[in-house]
Amino acid sequence: MRGHIRRRGEGSWELKYEAGTDLRTGKRITRYQSFKGTKREAQTELIRLMDAVRRGDYIDPSKVTVSEFLDRWEKDWAANNVSPKTRERFSQLIAHQVQPHLGNMPIQKLRALHLNELYASLLRNGRVGGGELSAKTVGHVHRCLRRALGHAAQWGLITQNPAALVHPPRVQQAEIEILRENEVETMLASLRTRNALLCTIAIVALGSGLRRGELCARLSRSMLLQRSAPSASSNHLSRPRLACASKRRKQNMAFAL
């Protein structure tokens, strides 16, 4: 079985290799595949393709669907190169937002137009169970596809990354709503009768200005048993979430600590 590479441009190569024999004619089947990267990487990819033909598990790139590639990318690349949480999020986006719409399409036929149509469809009815999907989540879909299809281009399955040619929908920046003093009192009064621990957490969060992640980190270490004030940096405490602290709120803070 033979194969060789030919340079096409800067960092671009053509891989030529034999992919078995045509059972009808008895002639050898020759395949050509584009690859982007260094010469050494192109040689490694050529060896991988030829080994796949020898083992009998070679898949013609022209027949690989979007769904098949994304499944393989998630299992072989994402599982070893991103955090478990990121991989889980990629899996959710692929399974719920991409594969139902584009999964059966051959990846070599995927174009930027199809991605634009996908994003528009998701905005209208992309939520699991039905309903509009937020522009922020559609943006997550776009970033996942851009990374995955970038590898597809690098590995020679497609000639270019179609996700690099489109833009996700613009996310409207909503202005943060700050609780008024009377709303704080109402909220705390309701929490006191429902969940004392949650009420204590709310008092600490309101009085200190700690963000959710900062607060959870402190709770996991001390479980609110320490009577000293939380040691947040001055940068965090210099921007409280409320414009002012009432006497009642200070009393609540002291009671919680």
pLDDT, tens digit (0-9, with 9 covering 90-100), for 46-104: 888 888 777 776 666 778 899 999 999 999 899 999 999 999 999 999 999 999 999 99
CATH of 66-165, one of 1.10.150.130, 3.30.1130.10, 3.40.1000.10, 1.10.357.10: 1.10.150.130
Query: Where is 181: in which H helix or E strand?
Result: helix 181-194
**Which residues pair with residue 17 across a beta bridge?**
3, 31
Predicted TM-score of the model (pTM): 0.56
**Segments of the chain assigned to CATH 1.10.150.130:** 66-165
Average pLDDT of the chain is 81
Handedness of CA 239, 244, 247, 253 (dihedral sign): negative
Q: How confident is the model at residue 11 (pLDDT cuts 50, 70, 90)?
A: confident
Contact 173, 204 (CB under 8 A): no
The Cα–Cα gap between 182 and 130 comes to: 37
The Cα–Cα gap between 198 and 193 comes to: 10
**How many other CB atoms are found less than 10 A from the CB of residue 23?**
7
Whole-number pLDDT of residue 209 = 78
Q: Is the pLDDT of residue 237 over 60?
A: no
Location of structure tokens 């478990």 = 84
Residues contacting 101, CB < 8 A, separation 6+: 118, 121, 122
Whole-number pLDDT of residue 221 = 67
